[in-house]
Amino acid sequence: MTKPTHHHKDYYAPEEKLYVATDNIIFGFDEGVLKLLLFKRRVEPFKGTMSLIGSFVHPDESAPNAAKRVLREITGLDDIFMEELKSYSAVERDPGARCISIAFYALIRIEESNKALVEKHGAIWHEVNSLPDLVLDHGQMVTDALGRLREKAQFYPIGVELLPKKFTIPQLQKLYEAIYQRDIDTRNFRKKLLSLNLLIPLDEKDMSGSKKGAYLYKFNYSKYKKLETKGFNFSLFKT
């Protein structure tokens, strides 16, 4: 089963190899609720159990590329916010074989995904607050990913990756309330947010949420890129 690779020689021959997989924790935000893309495992053991979406890392691709490949196959999306979470390598984690998994979490805009493709793959959006039992250590991965999301969102405005490109401030607030499972004061939220000068106000309103309508904004990515390198404080509240 060994495909040829670019490597001319295997210098490490007596060492043992392991299966290397990736698993993706794919977050989305819809109807004011934080969701996760799951599907039914298609291979034994535990075929049919709810599972994260993953793949083995092939010899000709890096782990992040394997994760991106899977994300593209399922959602049709490219160019997505994705970060490595951590690796999972307990000896007994997978009864199917000795296999380590490198978990990645991704933030996507559900409405930009190819819904037919998602459905074709049998993938389903589940509310984060009422997840089914997941196969192997995938439940732990989700817990870890949620922790990381909360940590990260406190210092980086990654929330915008989950919203449409044009979004309203009340939408963003609802997202943060979903991530942190707490209410946030509207006035303080707006003040903090607008003081960062990272939102570009548009001359459009979103009328879907209320009669009055809420102004739409775009995220100022280029300005953010510049700030990011120096680091800055996006924190919304004290611990």
Q: Is 238 in the site for a second copy (CB under 8 A)?
A: yes
**Judged by CB under 8 A, which of 32, 48, 95, 132 binds a second copy?**
95
Q: Mark 162-201 with x for binding to DNA (rule: CB under 7 A) and - for no binding.
A: ------xxx--------------xxxx-xxx--x------
CA pair distance 115, 111, nearest whole angstrom:
8
Please check whether residue 158 is in contact with residue 107, taking contact to mean a CB–CB distance below 8 angstroms: yes
What is the spatial order of strands in the sheet that 124-127 belongs to? 50-51, 33-40, 124-127
Say which residue the tokens 């291979």 belong to.
Answer: 43
CB 111 within 8 A of CB 125: no
Segment interacting with DNA (CB under 7 A) among 7-15, 17-25, 80-88, 206-214: 206-214
Q: Is 69 helix (H, G, I), strand (E, B) or coil?
A: helix
Binding mask 8-47 for a second copy (x = CB under 8 A): -xxxxxxxxxxxx----------------------xxx--
With CB under 8 A as the contact rule, the residue among 30, 42, 86, 226 that binds a second copy is 86
What is the C-alpha separation between 227 and 138, in angstroms, rounded? Answer: 35
Minimum distance from residue 235 beta carbon to DNA (Å): 5
Q: Which of residues 215-234 bind a second copy (CB under 8 A)?
A: 230-233
